[in-house]
Chains A and B, each alone.
Chain A
Amino acid sequence: MQWIHRWARGPALRSRRLTRTLGLSAVAAASALTLMPAPVPRAGTIIPGRVPFTLRASEIIAQNAVISILGESMSFSSASIQGMTITYSSGGHTYTIAVNGTSSAGPTVIKTSLFSTLKDDIGSLFHVQSPSVAVVLADALIQKPISTLVLTNVNLTIDTSMSAQSIQMPSMQMSVN
């Protein structure tokens, strides 16, 4: 007989059940949306391989500079670098680090095989403002320190390394194209 009673009060019971079901469904949907994991992209990848840098500067004033043709290196105790950009290409992209202003570097060593061609093609690497080209080449043969070396229009490909003990890059901007 119980089902007869239930059937008799059917509409009210069905309405309450419907309301309850809809309410619980809404809560479940809200919870699912909240807890649903967002699609997270995979981390990027490093592009392997040798990446020579190109150091460009409108002017470099270096103190206690030593250029070594045999050692394929240049070092200095400090330098101020105007209009410095460092570019390198990898994976079809060009990475550029540009400094807007004067960059100050502490003790620095630059190693590149291009220094071995210095006596034949110094003009393609930089213009020597002070001292003269002849003095720089002579000192580079015997690794004699140059108290103040002034270079302009520097366009030096660094195929080994550059290491500075400290460096400041005001308004530095790195971009990828």
Chain B
Amino acid sequence: MYPEMALPMEGRTNWKVFAGVMAGGVAGIGALTGMLMNGVVSAAVNLPVPFTVQASSINGTGFNLAPGQVPNQQQGAAQIQMNGSLQNMTISKTVNTPLGTFQINISAGSGSTPVQATGMTVYASSLGGDTSFPSGLTMDASSGALSGSQLQMNNATLQVPYLSTQSITLPGMSLSIQPVSGSSSSSSSSSSSGN
């Protein structure tokens, strides 16, 4: 037996091919992100943590609110279903990490194009704002549901344990991570694309 046969087979990485594939993948993700920020494509979104949603105005259609609760937390929350456009939307969340406490903000729809969401399901533990139902509101005691074909809210604030949309466009989206005052370290990043 030759000694060479006892050695393991040795492969080599073609770094040019590797770099090409990596560059292609990064460029693809960048293009998708850019199109999402510009409202060219929509994305299905599930946000997994309690957070605050604010908007200067919400125009909703097919509004339906029913009593519900969020699993695992046994927390009461109204289930809200609607399609809607949100002007100046901000999603914010405070996160505690070993490096300190940070405020994460996602903003979108601040320009002439609002955030558009379809098939939105929100479990809200609180909801506030100047509200009107210009096309009517029905409260049905047989199910506890409040429904209206149109909803208009100004200065809306929602505390949301769960949000899901079938699709959402986030024009001019920007993400910022800022340390909450008193935190020991800081980090900040943002990206935006105007409309």
Inter-chain contact A44/B123, CB cutoff 8 Å = yes
Given A49-B144, A90-B144, A93-B67, verify A177-B76 contact (CB < 8 Å): yes
Does A47 lie within 8 Å of B135, measured CB to CB? no
26 A–B contacts, CB within 8 A, in A order: A6-B7, A38-B48, A40-B46, A41-B72, A42-B72, A44-B68, A44-B69, A44-B71, A44-B161, A45-B68, A50-B141, A51-B141, A51-B143, A52-B141, A91-B67, A91-B76, A93-B69, A94-B76, A160-B142, A164-B137, A164-B138, A166-B136, A166-B137, A169-B131, A176-B77, A176-B125
Q: Are A41 and B48 in contact (CB under 8 A)?
A: yes
Across the A-B interface, the 5 shortest Cβ-Cβ residue pairs = A51-B144, A93-B76, A90-B67, A176-B76, A172-B131
Contacting residues of chain A (40-63) with chain B, CB-CB under 8 angstroms:
40-53
Inter-subunit contact A166/B133 (CB<8 Å): yes
**What is the CA–CA distance of A150 and B123 in the complex, to the nearest angstrom?**
37
Q: In the complex the two chains form, is B141's CB within 8 Å of A160's CB?
A: yes
The chain A residue with its CB closest to the CB of B71 is A42
Residues of chain B at interface, number, CB under 8 A: 45
User: Is B134 part of the contact surface with A, judged by Cβ < 8 Å?
Assistant: yes
Chain A residues whose C-beta falls within 8 Å of the C-beta of B140 in the assembled complex: 161
B139 lies within 8 A of chain A by Cβ: yes
Is B162 a contact partner of A41 (Cβ separation < 8 A)?
yes
Q: Which residues in A have their C-beta under 8 angstroms from that of B137?
A: 163-164, 166-167
Q: Among A46, A159, A160, A166, find the residue whose CB has the most chain B CB atoms closer than 10 A.
A: A46
- List residues of A whose CB falls within 8 A of some B CB: 2-3, 6, 20, 24, 38-53, 86, 88, 90-95, 106, 158-177
Contacts A45-B71, A173-B127 known; 8 new A-B pairs at CB < 8 A = A41-B71, A51-B144, A106-B136, A163-B137, A166-B134, A168-B133, A170-B130, A172-B130
Q: Which of B46, B134, B141, B162 is the one whose CB lies under 8 Å from A44?
A: B162
Residues of B within 8 A of A (CB): 3-4, 7, 13, 46, 48, 65-72, 75-79, 121, 123-144, 161-162, 164
Q: Which residues of A contact B161 (CB under 8 A)?
A: 41, 44
Chain A residue contacts of B143, Cβ below 8 A? 48-51
**Min C-beta distance of A66 to chain B, whole Å:** 19
* CB of B20, distance to nearest CB on chain A (Å): 15
Is the pair A171, B79 in contact by a Cβ cutoff of 8 Å? no
B125 cross-chain contacts in A, Cβ below 8 A: 175-176
**A42–B128 CA distance with the chains assembled, in angstroms:** 25
- Contact status B139-A158, CB under 8 Å: yes
Which residues of the partner chain A approach B75 to less than 8 Å between Cβ atoms? 176
Q: Given A93-B76, A161-B139, A177-B76, are A43 and B7 neighbors across the interface (CB < 8 Å)? A: no
Residues of B contacting A170 in the complex (Cβ-Cβ under 8 angstroms)? 130-131
CB distance from B89 to the nearest CB of A (A): 19
Q: Which residues of B lie under 8 Å from residue A160 when comparing CB positions? A: 141-142
Of the residues B13, B130, B136, B164, contact of A43 by C-beta under 8 Å: B164
* Contact (Cβ within 8 A) A47 B69: yes
Q: Which residues of B contact A166 (CB under 8 A)?
A: 132-137
Indicate if the CB atoms of B139 and A159 lie closer than 8 Å: no
Minimum CB–CB distance for B55 against chain A, Å: 14
